Structure 1
Amino acid sequence: MKVQGKMFLWLAAFLVAMAIIYGLWSKEPAGTTALFLAFGLSLMIGYYLAFTARRVDAGAQDNKDADVADDAGELGFFSPHSWQPLSLAFGGALAFMGVVFGWWLLFFSLPIILIGLWGWVFEYYRGENRTQ
């Protein structure tokens, strides 16, 4: 994970340099803003990966002598039967259609998004840890 963090931090340094050069040379605000936003996003991702790499064990990608098989294994838990992403996708599509057809459509999409988000967060919150 250290390698990915460094890659994104180097990308952030490159993007801020290009944003400054592009902004001074072209005096075009849209592209300059997009480059600065890309700088901010890559900086956030790079910081997160570098910060997380200090707290977890070194992965196979951090070892120069590692094979592909060294990184095999369980990657995490993914819900096999969740319907909540469908609700979020429908609510998100409705919200983006609100930008096209009228902002009033957001009033209908927001409850769908909130219900989907609530269901996804608390999908496996059952049993002894459940609040009464």
Structure 2
Amino acid sequence: MKIQGKMFIWLSVFILAVAILYGVWSKEPVGTTALFLAFGLSIMIGYYLAFTAKRVDAMAQDNKEADVADEAGEVGFFAPHSWQPLSLAVGGALAFLAVAMGWWILYFSAPLILVGLFGWVFEFYRGENQNQ
């Protein structure tokens, strides 16, 4: 994590320099504001990663002599399969179509979005993936 924190802090320094140069040369407020906001986001992420790296053990990417296999092991738990993202995608596509074609399409997209959202949140509380 130390490496990632340093990378984001150096990235934020670069973005700040670009924002200042862009603001002076272009005198365009929207792009300058966007670059300063990107600087703020980058410095927040870099500070968080650097702060968190002090509280956790050193990871393999912090060791210059580490191999790829040093970080091997269990990554986490992942759902085996789920149909809920399909429902959310179809509902979201219909919702965006409603903006272009007519708001009445939201009557069809809202139930799909709600079913997909609730199904995805609660999929481990019922059915074959239920936690014991």
Give the distance between the partners of 1:78 and 1:49, measured in 2 at CA: 24
Q: Kindly tell me the number of residue pairs found equivalent between the two proteins.
A: 127
Q: Distance in 1 between matches of 2:102 and 2:54?
A: 44
Does residue 2 in structure 1 map to residue 23 in structure 2? no
- Normalized against structure 1, the TM-score is what? 0.71
- Structure 1 alignment gaps of length 5 or more: none
Structure with max Cα Rg: 2
Pair 1:40–1:57, CA change in 2 (3 A): same
Amino acid at match of 1:80: P
Aligned residues of 2:84 and 2:119 also touching (Cα < 8 A): yes
CA RMSD after TM alignment: 2.9
In structure 1, the partner of 2:57 is: 57
Q: Report the CA distance between 1:76 and its aligned residue.
A: 1.2
- Indicate the larger mover: 55-64 or 112-121: 112-121
* Cα 1:29–1:105 shift into 2, 3 Å: farther
In structure 2, the residue matched to 1:104 is 103
Cα distance change on mapping 1:42 and 1:74 into 2, 3 Å: same
Distance in 2, Cα, partners of 1:25 & 1:87 = 48
* Percent identical: 72
**Corresponding residue for 2:43?**
43
Distance 1:91-1:45 versus aligned 2 partners, 3 A rule: farther
TM-score scaled by structure 2?
Answer: 0.71
Cα separation, 2, equivalents of 1:90 and 1:117: 12
